[in-house]
Amino acid sequence: MNKKVLLLLSVTFFSMARAQEATLILNVEDAKTTISKHIYGHFSEHLGRCIYDGFWIDPKLNVPKRDRIRLDVVDALKKINIPNLRWPGGCFADEYHWRDGIGDRKKRPKMVNNNWGGVSEDNSFGTHEFLQLCDLLGTEPYIAGNVGSGTVEEMSKWVEYLNSDGDSPMTQIRKLNGQNKPWKVSFWGVGNESWGCGGNMTAEYYANEYRRYATFARNYASVSLKKIAGGANSADYNWTEVLMRNIPRHLMWGISLHHYTIPTGNWGKKGAATHFDEAEYFNTMKNCLFMDTLVSKHAAIMDKYDRDKQVALVVDEWGIWTDVEPGTHPGFLYQQNSLRDALIAGSTLNIFNNHADRVRMANLAQTVNVLQAIILTKGKEMLLTPTYYVFEMFKNHMEAKLIPFTLSSPDYISNNHKLPAVNVSASIDSSGKVNITLVNIDPKNEITIHANINGKSIGKVKGSILTSKSYTDINTFENKRKVIPANFAGAIISNGKVEIKIPELSVVSLLLY
């Protein structure tokens, strides 16, 4: 073998080795922005088996329950410190009339869920039941009001029913229904997807409607509403521009954004939840990481009108959306949840954390049995999906201070296309502990990360890892623990620096102190 060939091989080997290394520099002294716990919110719509047969079960089902609320589901959500829960939709919100869901359950009128499968619902799960669920969870309710088919009066009186401590027809009805004191619901969505299922409105028309509805959704002495405008569909930047220009700041706490990761990019044939090749995996991760571009561009528009960042960006629907599982109702949106979905969750939460100056609330779609669910149920059985464990691993970021950083990552390359292989977010909590969450989306290469932590002395590290052999691996009712976290021993501290060997297809959470 001649010298030129040897030199070429040496250069190639060196390049490959370098391509599997990353550098991370954390600047702890610059940590000023709080990562809101509400970024880790969830979403439960009257859709498929999320409410009925998810949270709200047949009274004959032999599982622990309070009234008809399934308590093993409640206990699982409490373990991840669920900060808020959005309800009743989604598209369902704009055909939901709240007075049909209060009072004697036997006398409540049935309704047809026109958006999701055309099934009939008995309205047995309504306002009181939802707020009982939130009380059991120890979480804040986030209610989406009906703008599409409702009226200003209807929304105004729902707010009064929930929050007023005065003497009025609404409070008297509430007391007759068993709730003497107001619930003090703060988060309030004024419509949902008004550009689509919520009314097919233009941005200008919705902005005017919002002003009217929000004016009569009043603050009561017990609580001030955090009113959230129905924001853009993915990359519709004009929608954000119009709302920020036309809605006064005092009427709007936040503006929403909806974006789903579609594996194929084709809404007609989205791709399977469990059977896909690397080309589709790569495309899925590309569509997931587009969230960073979306948030950056919408935030830049908001900055034009709101330099002090008073208005929150609320990403209250996000997650992967695949074709439904074979043999299930096409309108119920039931899909399995793989290691790929956990990588999506970790990457997306890292993005939200890193934009914590503007993103102050988000809601994964959805909590139980629908889309990127963190919990699946089947009769008496329940399982936790890989996505659930990501929320468990990331919960230390809640209300911690975001640590600015610089990251140099190798690329994940597939068919001459490339993405950053590693994404990160970091925070420091009130006790001085540093939290780092890392995701390696590369399916072939372990990556060594050389991390410097400026402004903080570190002596110990603990960690956990979520990984599996294949990005298609899932938890099933036959094997509920195939994809679960394990202790992570791949981080070593030396001379105040940290070396982290993060395996391929993995989510890692570190606690340094």
Q: What residue type is assigned to position 307 of the chain?
A: R
Average the pLDDT over 327-333 and give the result.
97
- Ramachandran area for residue 280 (φ above 0: left; ψ -120 to 50: alpha; else beta): alpha
- Please check the confidence at residue 3 and state whether its pLDDT lies above 50: no
Residue 11 is predicted with a pLDDT of 38
- Ramachandran area for residue 265 (φ above 0: left; ψ -120 to 50: alpha; else beta): left
Q: What is the DSSP string of 174-218?
A: HHHTT--S-----EEEE-S-TTTTTT---HHHHHHHHHHHHHHS-
Residue 12 is predicted with a pLDDT of 39
Percent of the chain residues topping a pLDDT of 70: 96
Residue 221 is predicted with a pLDDT of 86
- Please check the confidence at residue 84 and state whether its pLDDT lies above 80: yes
Q: Tell me: domain 37-398, CATH 1.10.510.10, correct? A: no
- Please check the confidence at residue 291 and state whether its pLDDT lies above 80: yes
- Please check the confidence at residue 495 and state whether its pLDDT lies above 90: no
Instruction: Give the pLDDT confidence of 380-422 residue by residue, as tens digits.
Output: 999 999 999 999 999 999 999 999 999 999 999 999 999 999 9
Q: Which residues pair with 52 in a beta bridge?
A: 56
Instruction: Give the pLDDT confidence of 441-450 residue by residue, as tens digits.
Output: 999 999 999 9
What value does the mean pLDDT of the chain take?
A: 95
| Three-state secondary-structure class, residue 76 | helix
pTM: 0.95
Give Cα separations from 462 to 196, 215, 294, 510 (angstroms): 46, 50, 33, 6
For residue 8, what pLDDT band results from cuts at 50, 70 and 90?
very low
Instruction: Give the pLDDT confidence of 374-390 residue by residue, as tens digits.
Output: 999 999 999 999 999 99
Average the pLDDT over 430-437 and give the result.
97
Average the pLDDT over 96-118 and give the result.
97
Distance between alpha carbon 230 and the CA centroid of its chain, in Å? 16
**Catalytic residue (choose from 121, 140, 193, 392):** 193
Tokens at residue 245, please? 């220009």
Query: Domain-by-domain residue ranges, the chain?
Result: 19-31+403-512, 37-398
Residue 222 is predicted with a pLDDT of 78
Percent of the chain residues topping a pLDDT of 90: 96
- Please check the confidence at residue 7 and state whether its pLDDT lies above 60: no
- Please check the confidence at residue 4 and state whether its pLDDT lies above 50: no
Assigned fold of 19-31+403-512:
Immunoglobulin-like (2.60.40)
Residue 224 is predicted with a pLDDT of 95
Average the pLDDT over 473-478 and give the result.
98
Cα separation, 373 vs 76, whole angstroms: 13
Please state the φ and ψ torsions of residue 171, each to the nearest 5 degrees. Answer: -70, -30
Average the pLDDT over 125-154 and give the result.
98
**Catalytic residue (choose from 45, 160, 317, 392):** 317
Among this protein's residues, is 153 annotated catalytic?
A: no
Q: Which residues of 31-60 are buried (b: 16+ CB within 10 A; e: fewer)?
A: bebebbbbbbbbbbbbbbbbbbbbbbbeee
Average the pLDDT over 83-88 and give the result.
98
Instruction: Give the pLDDT confidence of 335-350 residue by residue, as tens digits.
Output: 999 999 999 999 999 9
Among this protein's residues, is 193 annotated catalytic?
A: yes
- Please check the confidence at residue 184 and state whether its pLDDT lies above 60: yes
Instruction: Give the pLDDT confidence of 199-228 residue by residue, as tens digits.
Output: 999 999 999 999 999 999 999 987 999 999
- Please check the confidence at residue 18 and state whether its pLDDT lies above 70: no
**424, 24 contact by CB (below 8 A):** yes
Interhelix angle 71-79/127-137, rounded to 10 degrees, is 50
